[in-house]
Structure 1
Amino acid sequence: MTQKNFLATLLLCLFVGGFGVHRFYVGKIGTGLLMFFTFGGLGIWTLIDFIMIAIGKFTDKEGHLIKA
């Protein structure tokens, strides 16, 4: 079970997801940096992450699902 909050992750992705902040929050520093420098894959990567978080399929750096 992850210690990361579902709602916090979802809101970070929604409001600052283009900068990869939600990925930094869950410990995925490498992909967070990639998102930062590509502006969330020009928004596409951010949208995919948002959907994955919303349906409960997004994981933290240890592979634990972040669910509501």
Structure 2
Amino acid sequence: MDVQKVDMFIMSNAKFFESHQVNVIRERLISIDDAKWRYISTLQLKDPTTSLIVSILAGGIGIDRFLIGDTGLGIGKLLTCGGFGFWAIIDWFLIQKATKEKNMQKIQQFLY
């Protein structure tokens, strides 16, 4: 794979992943073939900052968890009104990391 193309991908998408994962992703992207590159370049990754904003505004009803694809947790938050408010507040601190983990899971489907 073209290193320049990989570096451009990393520069524009590094905020979607944990910092310690970026080098691993870069190395794997360099070694993949062009057929997989087409799929990776069109991936729709979730923005952790958007998830945090949604969590602050509507986390009490689970919208933040639905947004990142955690349907079960979203239903749990919805039925308990955000764990009676406690779960919603805790998610303000955890939702960005959970979003980055979901993004990593999504890209790993094509890297391995």
Distance 1:64 1:19 in 2: 25
Which blocks of at least 5 consecutive residues in structure 2 are unaligned?
1-16, 18-43, 106-112
Is the 8 Å Cα contact of residues 48 and 100 (structure 2) preserved in structure 1? Answer: no
**Alignment CA distance shift 1:9-1:62 (3 Å):** closer
The structure 2 residue matched to 1:38, chosen from 70, 74, 80, is 80
1:12 alignment counterpart = 54
Offset of 1:18 from its aligned partner? Answer: 0.2
- Name the count of aligned residue pairs: 63
More helix by share: 2
Amino acid in structure 1 at the alignment position of 2:98: F
**TM-score, normalised to structure 1's length?**
0.76
**TM-score, normalised to structure 2's length?**
0.48
Q: Which has the higher contact order (CA 8 A, sep 6+)?
A: 1
Amino acid in structure 1 at the alignment position of 2:59: G
> Identity rate of aligned residues, in percent?
32
Query: Which stretch shows the higher mean deviation, 9-18 or 43-52?
Result: 43-52
Distance 1:34 1:43 in 2: 12
2:97 alignment counterpart = 57
Please give the root-mean-square deviation of Cα atoms over the aligned residues, in Å. 2.5
Is the 8 Å Cα contact of residues 51 and 99 (structure 2) preserved in structure 1? Answer: no
